[in-house]
Structure 1
Amino acid sequence: MTTSERAPGRGTAVVIGGGLAGMAAAWALRGFAERIVVVERDRYPEGAEFRAGVPQGRHAHLVLEAGHRLLEEMMPGIKQELTAAGAQQVAASDVRWLSSAGWLAEYQAQLKFLCSTRPLLDKLVLDRVRAHPAIEILEGTDAVGLLGSATTVTGVKVRERGSGRGSERDAERDSDRGSDRGSERGSERGEVREIPAELVVDAAGRSSSVPKWLTELGCRPVPEERVDAGVAYASRIFHRPAGSDLGNRAVYLQTKAPDGPRMGVLLPVEGDRWIVSLAGMRGAEPATGEAGFTKHLGMLRDPMLEEVLRGAEPAGEVRGFLPGPGVRRHYERSCPDGLVVVGDAASTFNPVYGQGVTVALFCARELRRTAKRHGGIGHATARAARRAVAAASKMPWMISCTEDARFPATTGAPSGTLVGLQHRFFDKVLAGSTRDPAVTAAFHEVMSLVAPPSLLLRPSVLGVVLRS
């Protein structure tokens, strides 16, 4: 029996990655781990600023209804703090949504979502986590490997990267510099140090090295699914013109497969600004720079965004982003004891569906539930958490990859009779949602991850859908 198995289950937990998923995971473990160490390669900026370690941070983000309910449950009062800092609450009925079937019907919605820049959301969550006495954050520190064996992970190897604050420029510079600080994180020479742990949580995102490190420990490769629609983003922030008719509303011009693989979204954010993200699937990617942004804007299915932005002053440069494929790693099937993987490190989705932040919060919820059920952070908790995380990401993954399958250039997408039936049924749902508020409301609940797709089979909804 290992030392970890003999431990009472309330020792040290190490979280790899100090982004939103990592902060939420660390927060979830409070009260169940005596010590929680977050290892973050960046040095955080002083304020709500963009940083290199979150390349998707410059693009449109929202917290779906299910996500902001959970965030408020986890951190009571955070919603008020976000709105006080300028985050915008947008009702589902205030989204001008052009689906593949047409404009969704207008109705009085109870559902709302929060819109802000990603740095504002990250900063307020970070402030909560930093204030907890049991949580220690190692900034400017790389996780460089796992401790343990093919059967049990017992800690993390780390190395400090260097000094300097966390702007994008500083973070990029730090990656090529040695350390000038000494602590458990490493010496002035940036030597590798070890942090023993009873539980290791990987929240390092899309670029996680944990699959490689597990192979080095002698583990079998983690089973995974991979779907790649080849999506690319171009985003820009604009000052919102005074007296704009759009007001506090959002716009979503959805793709239409197979001949309309371009989309555009406008969200109101703090500082009386809009963040506008344009995207295209493989073969229809926006070109780089201002010229590419303008050209892609003019190729959307509807001129609304182009017209709205005609009088808006840019508040920054055009920024591009290549998310890479959607990947779902099945750690619940193959994983050593003592390890849980959450957020994008476990499941990444095509960002056009806006699920990532909410699913990361789902992972934190399941981590806390299983720690509570098993009374600590021992191996039983890790095993149960892996299964729960996989279950929490199943529906969002199904929605994402089934829709990606509509585009001919998508690789790895599911196919067959069942997928064809799902497409035909969903097309009828969208058609019904263009004219019947009950269908529109049900559709919004499913897409906001508040309700499962089975809600669309409710008789009051299904009857309209089948007549569509």
Structure 2
Amino acid sequence: MTSSETAPGRGTAVVIGGGLAGTVAAWALRGFAERIVVVERDRYPAEPTFRAGVPQGRHAHLVLEAGHRALEEMMPGIKKELTEAGAMRVAVSGDLKWLSSAGWMAQYPAQLAFLSCTRPVLDKAVLDRARADPTIEFLEGADVVGLLGSARTVTGVKVRDRGPERGEVREIPAELVVDAAGRTTSVPDWLAELGHPPVPEERVDAGVAYSSRLFHRPAGVDIGYKAIYLQTKAPDAPHLGVLLPVEGDRWIVSVAGMRGAEPEPGEAGFTKQLARLRDPSIREALQQAEPAGEVRGFVPGPGIRRHYERSAPDGLVVVGDAASTFNPVYGQGVTVALFCARELRRTALRHGGIGHATARDARRAIAAVSKNPWVMSCTEDVRFAATTGGPSGALLAFQHRFLDKVLAGAAHDPAVTAAFHEVMSLVAPPTLLFRPSLLAAILRS
């Protein structure tokens, strides 16, 4: 089926990648495409478990408040299902002990919260919803190996089965192709093969590396909080740690370091990194806890923001990490992927289909909802001398000085803390902090 500006069409949509970003993108297109095909390289496990195609899934994850709102908007009742699967509600103040670079966050009665669970529980809840829709097909155990079309228009994908007998490459024509292949996406290379010029991009790399482990929560032990977050402090404390409650009466603990302060491999490296943290809270909490798994490492690579809103062929939309990859320490990635899916659905609703006008508007909307998280992430990353890329100049210096004031205020003024939490939870833009009553409190700090 061919699209046009006047008749958007309701043909086939292909989603590259069946992780969380791809699954919610497929869900977002239901009702607007006659057929939605999700091509996933793995085969999904029957029960929630970690899988090779999501290497970052073994580490501490959370969906920010704004992400939960987006997910609930698209999948009503999903928060209840996650809670029934063992996800725990953590209020950002009261339940969370948060050490910023300026000190412990002031406590207040917070309405903002997040649900804490392992990544497989979140992924399976979303996958089960999508699988129940008859217009969404999952092609498991298959690789997308190229795009169909030209430098001007993408018209489908080339796929091939994985495994020892890979078979022949076959084609799936499509009116819309959604790239949700994550950090390792090959779409930029395939666009080059079609003759499309390089997509403009920004890069920043703080060299962060993770080490994580699951622990059984010791019975009868109360550490005073449900979760602990120990942030870095540039330039002399480039280490961070997080402890989150997850299903099965367990904690997931992740420790990390920026370039030059990365955790060493294995159990010894994990223990050594714990000792490097600015505060002993997490280490003390684990004194009576038994490990529930092995130590796992992860190096996410650079943050990349690809500007497909500036340069992309018709018929292509890029979502999630394939569009914007963030430093994971700020917890933005899953939430931004959910924003992408919501914007995709809103634009399809506006145009009544999945045609080229929908794709163009979706690219612009996705760029808009990714901008603030990207600026927030990059602004902090460049505080560390070993970071490559990222912003610089007088504006950056002002941003750093202002944020330092905000964090100082948040250490003793609950009103500043609450506003900062709204911004960090992505429910309010950073301009909230310039509201006159808040600005006065911030400047006094």
Q: Which residue does the alignment assign to 1:58?
A: 58
Amino acid across the alignment from 2:118: T
Q: Which residue does the alignment assign to 1:144?
A: 145
Please tell me whether residue 376 in structure 1 is matched to residue 377 in structure 2. no
Deviations 1:200-238 (A, max 9, x none): 000000000000000000000010000000000000000
Amino acid across the alignment from 2:360: R
Return the alpha-carbon distance in structure 2 between the equivalents of residues 377 and 387 of structure 1.
15
Q: How many residues align?
A: 443
Q: Which residue does the alignment assign to 1:170?
A: none
Please tell me whether residue 92 in structure 1 is matched to residue 92 in structure 2. yes
1:4 Cα shift? 3.6
Amino acid across the alignment from 1:426: L
The correspondence for 1:178, drawn from 165, 171, 184, is 165
The structure 1 segments of at least 4 consecutive aligned residues displaced by more than 6 Å after TM superposition are none
> Relative to structure 1, is the Cα distance of residues 248 and 121 closer, same or farther in structure 2, using a 3 angstrom cutoff?
farther
Q: Which residue does the alignment assign to 1:445?
A: 422
1:416 Cα shift? 0.5
The correspondence for 2:298, drawn from 321, 324, 337, is 321
1:70 Cα shift? 1.1
Q: Any conservation in 1 of the 2:13–2:36 contact (CA below 8 Å)? A: yes
1:245 Cα shift? 1.5
Q: Any conservation in 1 of the 2:8–2:356 contact (CA below 8 Å)? A: no
Q: Which residue does the alignment assign to 1:288?
A: 265
Q: Which residue does the alignment assign to 1:173?
A: none
1:381-392 counterparts in 2 under 5 A?
381-392=358-369
1:8 Cα shift? 4.3
Q: Percent identity?
A: 79
Please tell me whether residue 255 in structure 1 is matched to residue 255 in structure 2. no
Deviations 1:92-144 (A, max 9, x none): 11110000000000111000101100000001100000010000000001000
Please tell me whether residue 197 in structure 1 is matched to residue 169 in structure 2. no
1:204-223 counterparts in 2 under 5 A?
204-223=181-200
Return the alpha-carbon distance in structure 2 between the equivalents of residues 443 and 133 of structure 1.
42
Q: Any conservation in 2 of the 1:155–1:200 contact (CA below 8 Å)? A: yes
1:337 Cα shift? 0.2
Q: Any conservation in 2 of the 1:145–1:158 contact (CA below 8 Å)? A: yes
Q: Any conservation in 1 of the 2:238–2:258 contact (CA below 8 Å)? A: yes
1:80 Cα shift? 0.5
Return the alpha-carbon distance in structure 2 between the equivalents of residues 103 and 333 of structure 1.
41
1:313-462 counterparts in 2 under 5 A?
313-462=290-439
Q: Which residue does the alignment assign to 2:44?
A: 44
The correspondence for 1:464, drawn from 438, 441, 445, is 441
Q: Which residue does the alignment assign to 1:156?
A: 157
Return the alpha-carbon distance in structure 1 between the equivalents of residues 363 and 181 of structure 2.
16
1:248 Cα shift? 5.8
Question: Given the two structures, how large is their TM-score scaled by the length of structure 1?
Answer: 0.94
Deviations 1:295-317 (A, max 9, x none): 01001000111111111000000
Q: Any conservation in 2 of the 1:224–1:328 contact (CA below 8 Å)? A: yes
1:59 Cα shift? 0.1
Deviations 1:306-365 (A, max 9, x none): 111111000000000000000000001110000000000000000000000000000001
1:246 Cα shift? 2.5
Return the alpha-carbon distance in structure 2 between the equivalents of residues 77 and 373 of structure 1.
24
Amino acid across the alignment from 2:298: F
Please tell me whether residue 125 in structure 1 is matched to residue 102 in structure 2. no
1:244 Cα shift? 2.0
**Equivalent position SS for 1:39:** strand
**Equivalent position SS for 2:197:** coil
Please tell me whether residue 306 in structure 1 is matched to residue 283 in structure 2. yes
Amino acid across the alignment from 1:116: C
Deviations 1:52-86 (A, max 9, x none): 00000000000100001111111111100100110
Return the alpha-carbon distance in structure 2 between the equivalents of residues 130 and 3 of structure 1.
27
Q: Any conservation in 2 of the 1:64–1:354 contact (CA below 8 Å)? A: yes
Please tell me whether residue 30 in structure 1 is matched to residue 30 in structure 2. yes
Deviations 1:430-449 (A, max 9, x none): 00000000000000000000
Q: Any conservation in 1 of the 2:67–2:338 contact (CA below 8 Å)? A: yes
**Equivalent position SS for 2:286:** helix
Deviations 1:164-223 (A, max 9, x none): xxxxxxxxxxxxx224xxxxxxxxxx2100000000000000000000000000000010
Return the alpha-carbon distance in structure 1 between the equivalents of residues 430 and 322 of structure 2.
25
Q: Which residue does the alignment assign to 1:5?
A: 4
Range with greater deviation from structure 2 (321-330 or 303-312) = 303-312
For structure 1, which runs of at least 5 residues remain unmatched after alignment? 163-176, 180-189
Q: Any conservation in 2 of the 1:248–1:268 contact (CA below 8 Å)? A: no
Amino acid across the alignment from 1:357: V
Return the alpha-carbon distance in structure 2 between the equivalents of residues 115 and 399 of structure 1.
23
Amino acid across the alignment from 1:67: G
Q: Which residue does the alignment assign to 1:183?
A: none
Amino acid across the alignment from 2:165: G
Q: Any conservation in 2 of the 1:438–1:460 contact (CA below 8 Å)? A: no
> Relative to structure 1, is the Cα distance of residues 412 and 377 closer, same or farther in structure 2, using a 3 angstrom cutoff?
same
Return the alpha-carbon distance in structure 2 between the equivalents of residues 57 and 38 of structure 1.
20
Question: Given the two structures, how large is their TM-score scaled by the length of structure 2?
Answer: 0.98
**Equivalent position SS for 1:5:** coil
Q: Any conservation in 2 of the 1:4–1:154 contact (CA below 8 Å)? A: no
Q: Which residue does the alignment assign to 2:113?
A: 112
**Equivalent position SS for 2:71:** helix
1:232-243 counterparts in 2 under 5 A?
232-243=209-220
Amino acid across the alignment from 1:287: E
Deviations 1:392-425 (A, max 9, x none): 1000000000000100000002110000000000
**Equivalent position SS for 1:429:** helix
**Equivalent position SS for 1:298:** helix
Return the alpha-carbon distance in structure 2 between the equivalents of residues 122 and 5 of structure 1.
35
Amino acid across the alignment from 1:26: A
Q: Any conservation in 2 of the 1:442–1:456 contact (CA below 8 Å)? A: yes
Q: Which residue does the alignment assign to 1:168?
A: none
Q: Any conservation in 1 of the 2:22–2:181 contact (CA below 8 Å)? A: yes
